[in-house]
Amino acid sequence: MTLGDAAAIRRAIAAREVSAVDVCRASLDRIEALNGALNAFITVDAERALRRAASLDDGPATVRDLPLFGVPIAVKDNICTRGLRTTAGSRILEHYTPPYSATVIERVEAAGAIVVGKTNCDEFAMGSSTEHSAFGPARNPWAHDRTPGGSSGGSAIAVATGMTPIALGSETGGSVRQPAALCGVLGFKPTYGRISRYGLIAFGSSMDQIGPLATNVTDLATVLQVLAGEDLRDSSCARRPADDYSAMLNAGARGLRIGIPSRILAEGIEEGVRAAFDAATEALRDAGASLIDIELPHARYATPAYAIVAMAEASSNLGRYDGVRYGHRGEKTSSLRDMYTSTRAAFGREVKRRVLLGTYVLSGGYYDAFYTKAQQVRALLRRDYETAFEQVDVVATPTSPTTAFPLGARVEDPLQMYLADVLTVSANLTGLPAISVPCGFAEGLPVGLQLTGRAWDEATLLRGAAAITNR
């Protein structure tokens, strides 16, 4: 059988046209057929997934009303799953099996979903191409010689190829939205604090956020409804109820005020990407939206500010990988220092780079010059968006300045790799919600349009995304 979207799967199972086991087998078969070429999954546990599907089929009739009943889901490999290996794309955690599940896993399973496996990602989510994985690079399904984006590249591939209709990713600077754009699917970053981070392996804790990927806005809204809400195990998770994310999906574009920061789009955007973006925004204007030119004066400083904050927080968070508590331990060492050194030698080059730079900017004599200054820029950027939202409902940009770039093209040039996220990092620095929506193609490769919204106003972003996909 061919997998449809999550809503279609749920309807088919509810009508008893197929069983949860049938759907799960179809998902696993597709993964087996495609994963060898694309390397989207690090771990697949077919026996576990089928056992879960059978238990759903054998459960009481009432469980068939669950919003994700029988829906296969892929999970980025930095989100903890009890009893299922979780590596974060690193040799440090190559054999780590968590004794607990992240809150988001508990919630999707309570909603009836079936976790079929863990997807490939840049090591500890540090990258924009899924080339920094210790388990080999993932490949873009539209062109196997190109990156799928990162760090949630495996999750984006899984959805784009129909291995699973939905997936979970995480992002610190755009790692859900950017691969979604490069693979031609939707990716959502909610407001910081909207979804619990409990069980997410930390990179940059003040910016890390779990988000869903899907092929359509309806599925995205459904998953967000399941994931959102208070979690006392995460002190950064907001104590506010989830909104009705499906309520505005049919509201259309009429009356929607869309801000276009034309000055920051004037250079650095590939011609084909800009053409697809302009065509999509003009279509929204034709459908009744207003396009309003806005200023984001400090947006040009977002990338360096993000790099400093993210690397500083990474150096702090990765200090726990010391060979003592869990994960890899260096062998044949004669002292505690030797063990630390040997253990941390297992980190990949990009992780080492970020830890070293992060330690430097936090060191005495440099803290104020770098980290404090970056936090000041962060506050100014948030103020820019607050000013913009006095006159617009959402801000629109391309998600990525380019389409998927060739594998290997930027691995030796970290600055160019970091610039892949130049249009996405602002949402993480400010904590605002943002979504990437497919808006066309450039030279045969997908282009994504990004909408950024007011804090806690995910519903308006989903409305705008629906207007784009329905245009």
Active-site annotation holds for 151 = yes
How many domains would you assign to the chain? 1
Residue 126 contacts residue 350 (beta carbons within 8 Å):
yes
When the pLDDT of each residue in the chain is averaged and rounded to a whole number, the result is 96
Given the residues 129, 155, 175, 400, the one annotated as active site: 175
- Residues 6 or more apart in contact with residue 167 via CB below 8 angstroms: 73, 74, 75, 76, 119, 152, 155, 156, 158, 159, 212, 213, 214
Give the residue-averaged pLDDT of 265-286: 97
Instruction: Identify the pLDDT of residue 188.
Output: 98
CA–CA gap between residue 471 and residue 467 (Å, rounded): 6
Residue 15: domain span: 1-471
CA–CA gap between residue 161 and residue 45 (Å, rounded): 19
Instruction: Identify the pLDDT of residue 325.
Output: 84
Active-site annotation holds for 76 = yes
Helix pair angle (302-317, 349-362), 10° resolution: 100
Given the residues 151, 152, 196, 426, the one annotated as active site: 151
Report which of 75, 147, 155, 149 is spatially closest to residue 107, judged by C-alpha positions.
75
Q: What are phi and psi of 235, to 5 degrees?
A: -65, -15
Q: Is the dihedral of CA 91, 96, 101, 103 positive or negative?
A: negative
Give per-residue pLDDT as tens, 214-269.
Answer: 999 999 999 999 999 999 999 999 999 999 999 999 999 999 999 999 999 999 99
For the chain, percent of residues with pLDDT exceeding 90? 93
CA–CA gap between residue 119 and residue 153 (Å, rounded): 8
Give per-residue pLDDT as tens, 141-172.
Answer: 999 999 999 999 999 999 999 999 999 999 99
Q: What is the pTM of this model?
A: 0.97
CA–CA gap between residue 407 and residue 137 (Å, rounded): 8
Has residue 431 got a pLDDT over 80? Answer: yes
Any idea of the CA torsion for 284, 246, 7, 238, to the nearest 10 degrees? 120
Give per-residue pLDDT as tens, 290-330.
Answer: 999 999 999 999 999 999 999 999 999 999 999 888 889 98
Instruction: Identify the pLDDT of residue 332.
Output: 78
Query: Which parts of 312-454 are beta strand (E)?
Result: 394-398, 434-442, 445-453
Has residue 1 got a pLDDT over 80? Answer: no
- Least confident piece of the model among 14-18, 75-79, 135-139, 285-289: 14-18
Q: Is residue 326 classed as helix, strand or coil in its secondary structure?
A: coil
Tokens at 330, concatenated: 């260096």
Instruction: Identify the pLDDT of residue 62.
Output: 82
Instruction: Identify the pLDDT of residue 320.
Output: 94
| Helix (H) or strand (E) segment spanning residue 163 | none
| Helix (H) or strand (E) segment spanning residue 85 | none
Q: Residue 415's domain is classified under what CATH number?
A: 3.90.1300.10
Which whole-number Å values give the CA distances from 134 to 125, 169, 388, in the listed order? 11, 18, 41
H helical segments located in 15-76: 20-38, 46-57
For the chain, percent of residues with pLDDT exceeding 70? 100
Give per-residue pLDDT as tens, 72-94.
Answer: 999 999 999 999 999 999 999 99
Given the residues 27, 76, 101, 189, the one annotated as active site: 76
Has residue 14 got a pLDDT over 90? Answer: no
